[in-house]
Structure 1
Amino acid sequence: MQKNKQVLVLGASGDIGGEVARQLREAGWQVRALKRALGVERRVKDGIEWVEGDAMNRADVMAASAGCSVIVHAVNPPGYRRWAELVLPMIDNSIAAARAQGATVVLPGTVYNYGPGALESPTEDSPQRPTTRKGAIRVELEQHLETACSSGEMRAIVVRAGDFFGPKAGNSWFTQGMVKPGQPVKTVRLPSSRGVGHQFAYLPDVARTMVELLARRATLPGFATFHMAGHWDADGTQLGQAVQRVLARHGQTQPALKPFPWWMVRVAAPFVPTLREMLEMRYLWQCALRMPNQRLLDTLGQEPYTPWDKAIEATLVGIGCLKAPDSARMVEHDQLAQPKTVG
């Protein structure tokens, strides 16, 4: 097994892939990123080496992974489209490259694996029983990884987390369904059914968790799965209330908290593929599914965690809904809102 600190990130121009790439670079890794149609763009930018290629092309992935001890597989079909066609071929390409290099594959996982009949607090080893197409594909994707790891030629780390939000999480429920990026927040749309909890994950915390697990990869099982507790919105309103608190501290009018208009999604779903997929996954807003993180705590000692208000403030600034606070306020805020262990 290679011990170098060279990593290939697939999906580095996206949300989670970009955050993991940046944090790995800051942790001293030599980061290589694959991107289609790179053209005349700079091949080295902000300390990351960009190479042209397509995650759907096995030869491109094999060439880009040369010399790498880790492959971060953070690439997904955009806008929920063509999952059945693209997801499994892409992971198989990453598996082939990992086998050739004796590398570890890191996969950002989701709660999609768990269907509405799952336990309310499923552990990493609980039966999954997905009832949606995307859930079934995610389960099969992980099965491909687990089977490949059984040969001993490669390893894998899967980190399952709730719905992403963060300064650079453009393709998220927060930015696409709850607030409107680029303008002052007047309304926060709440997708949860009344009183139903929901699990969120702050993108920088997810990336930090992956970086810390990679530092311990030699001590982990060949196929290692972990759940993040992240941010638990106990009744479906706490994220919205955090937005209200942050804006109040900035002297802005508190936004109204209103139900998400699911009826509009139902009406338009027959004509818009993305809305059909959203509707299929609605059960996650109707059932309180909360993944516990005991295995992660046993491994790392604590879970990287940024408190609600600090995470929401950074997110609102990052998506253009709020001006960045002055440096003095940011220092004071950092001192008052330190990360803590969550369980």
Structure 2
Amino acid sequence: MPKALILGISGGFGAATAEALRAHGWQLRALMREPTHLPPHLDGTEIVCGDARDHDAVWRATEDVELIVYAANPSNYRWRGMALPMLEVTARIAESRGLTILFPANVYVFDPADGPIFDETSPRCPQTGKGRLRLAMEARLERAARRGARVIVLRMGDFFGPHAPSAWLHHLIRRQASGCRLTTPGPSAMTHTWAYLPDAANVATALIATRDNLPAWNLFHFHGHRASLAEIAAALQAISGQPVVLHPMRWWPLHLLAPFSPLARGVLEMRYLWRCEIHLDDRKLCEIGLTTTHTPLGEALRRSWAMDIEQGNAD
């Protein structure tokens, strides 16, 4: 039975991919600083205590594994000075041991002026510091693929799902006494690209299953759902039977916090993503027989917020 190491198993993509891999017969191991943070639905996962920045800890954790799911991120947008050194540890070990790395990429590397549709050959011209850092991470993984590792990069839009507490959409949707409030960081009618995590994880798992037939370096785009916040509000209202009120986001508190908070600065830096459309073309995936949207939007939202919806119906 193949074994995978999950870095970032307590996060949205890490947890979803771990669940999909387990369903396809993989044994799971996780490197964690705090084992009590293992998601309950992933009980039984082998835990190695340690930090993804520690070479010795990652080396121990990669003993007898075939795959590293690299879903680790510095917390609270503290990427500068941390993200690249942390990835470097995994890249070097994967090169040495000939391991496959699965890496979730985002749309930060694109200039919206080049879009709105981007495929795997589109220019990567990031307009922010976060985007330039993500581009450097992708470049490091390309080098790893030339030095003995295998790399599968799956680029996605904004995550959402049943176990994604750090996702934007999770923070934008709030239960109220009657119904729900959906905060809108930008124009509510503007189409945005979303990645329902269980669907993305299933596609990632299918790519991993075909890794021996793929080149050492692989970049694929995940189409996901294209929906405006107004459409999401309508879908939530339809599945919950409760009113959903759109509420414009107040950005000024973040400007006040920015001098003191890396999180506030990071959120402000990404504000442009709510003003411009960036969509992903998945023809490359389709050419190898994979489709990237399986769960209808309404059903995906219902599964993601089942507990809140059931509570609202009970009220």
Does the Cα contact within 8 Å between 2:66 and 2:100 map onto a contact in 1?
yes
The question of 1:6 aligning with 2:3 is answered yes
CA distance in 2, matches of 1:155, 1:192: 38
Count of aligned positions: 311
Corresponding residue for 2:55? 58
Corresponding residue for 1:259? 248
Stretches of 4+ aligned residues off by more than 4 angstroms: 181-185
1:96-175 pair list within 5 angstroms: 96-151=92-147, 153-175=148-170
**Secondary structure in 1 aligned to 2:279?**
coil
Offset from partner CA, 1:282-329 (integer Å, 9 cap, x none): 111111111111111112332242111101111112xx4222899xxx
Give the TM-score, by structure 1 length.
0.84
The question of 1:270 aligning with 2:259 is answered yes
The question of 1:180 aligning with 2:174 is answered yes
Unaligned runs of 5+ in 2: none
Corresponding residue for 2:68? 71
CA distance in 1, matches of 2:289, 2:95: 27
1:95 shift after superposition? 1.0
Offset from partner CA, 1:139-169 (integer Å, 9 cap, x none): 0001001012113x11100001010111111
Amino acid at match of 1:239: I
Corresponding residue for 2:237? 244
CA distance in 2, matches of 1:293, 1:155: 21
1:91 shift after superposition? 1.2
The question of 1:192 aligning with 2:186 is answered yes
Report which stretch shifted further, 253-262 or 96-105.
Answer: 253-262
1:101 shift after superposition? 2.0
Does the Cα contact within 8 Å between 1:116 and 1:130 map onto a contact in 2?
no
The structure carrying a bigger strand percent of its residues is 2
CA distance in 1, matches of 2:285, 2:213: 13
Q: Could you say if the C-alpha distance between residues 206 and 314 of structure 1 is closer, same or farther in structure 2, counting changes exceeding 3 Å? A: same
Amino acid at match of 2:143: T
**Secondary structure in 1 aligned to 2:298?**
helix
**Secondary structure in 1 aligned to 2:272?**
helix
Amino acid at match of 2:230: T
Q: Could you say if the C-alpha distance between residues 47 and 38 of structure 1 is closer, same or farther in structure 2, counting changes exceeding 3 Å? A: closer
Amino acid at match of 1:85: G
CA distance in 2, matches of 1:104, 1:303: 21
Offset from partner CA, 1:216-251 (integer Å, 9 cap, x none): 111112110011110101x44211221111111xxx
The question of 1:88 aligning with 2:87 is answered no
Report which stretch shifted further, 166-175 or 295-304.
Answer: 295-304
Unaligned runs of 5+ in 1: 327-343
Corresponding residue for 1:224? 218
The question of 1:210 aligning with 2:204 is answered yes
CA distance in 1, matches of 2:112, 2:290: 31
The alignment-based identity, stated in percent, is: 35
40, 43, 47: which one aligns with 1:46: 43
Does the Cα contact within 8 Å between 1:55 and 1:61 map onto a contact in 2?
yes
